[in-house]
Amino acid sequence: MMLTFDRLQAGRALGDATVRVDADCLSKWDSMFPGSIAAAGDHLPSGLVVALMMRGYVAILGERPQGNVHVEQEFFWETKVPKESVLVVTLSCLRKEVQGGRRWVWFDNQVGNAAGVRHVRGIMKLVWAA
């Protein structure tokens, strides 16, 4: 079922997704950004963590209206992410409002591990198409 603006509820959790970081994932990232994996030492490059966060976002939301516009994003980094991790991405709707004829939605997108350690939190602001 399409996730429309009317179905979103501020303060409601939308779900979680498990994202595995394995050797294949690291290899693909390093092929796009050569040397970035080695330069990050025992941890993941921040750009890869953000990409994995967005992978979780897409998996959780599923079917959504075409034409949404990702307007703004803030990141709050708490701990570095070890290589070869199993990450848990959680997503909730922080708030929504209609302003100037546009449907605005804010999502809280968090990346942590199964033990409950939070690595990064992202607040995403979107114009929701329908």
DSSP H/E element including 126:
strand 118-128
Kindly list the structural domains of the chain, giving each domain's residue range(s) and its CATH number in brackets, ordered by start: 5-128 (3.10.129.10)
Q: How far apart are CA 12 and CA 84, in angstroms?
A: 30
- Cβ atoms 125, 72 nearer than 8 A: yes
Q: How far apart are CA 29 and CA 56, in angstroms?
A: 17
Location of structure tokens 């963590």? 49
Q: Give the model's pLDDT for residue 62.
A: 86
Q: What is the pLDDT of residues 50-65, one digit of tens each?
A: 999 999 999 999 889 9
* Single pTM value for the model: 0.92
pLDDT at 75 over 90: yes
- Cβ atoms 121, 94 nearer than 8 A: no
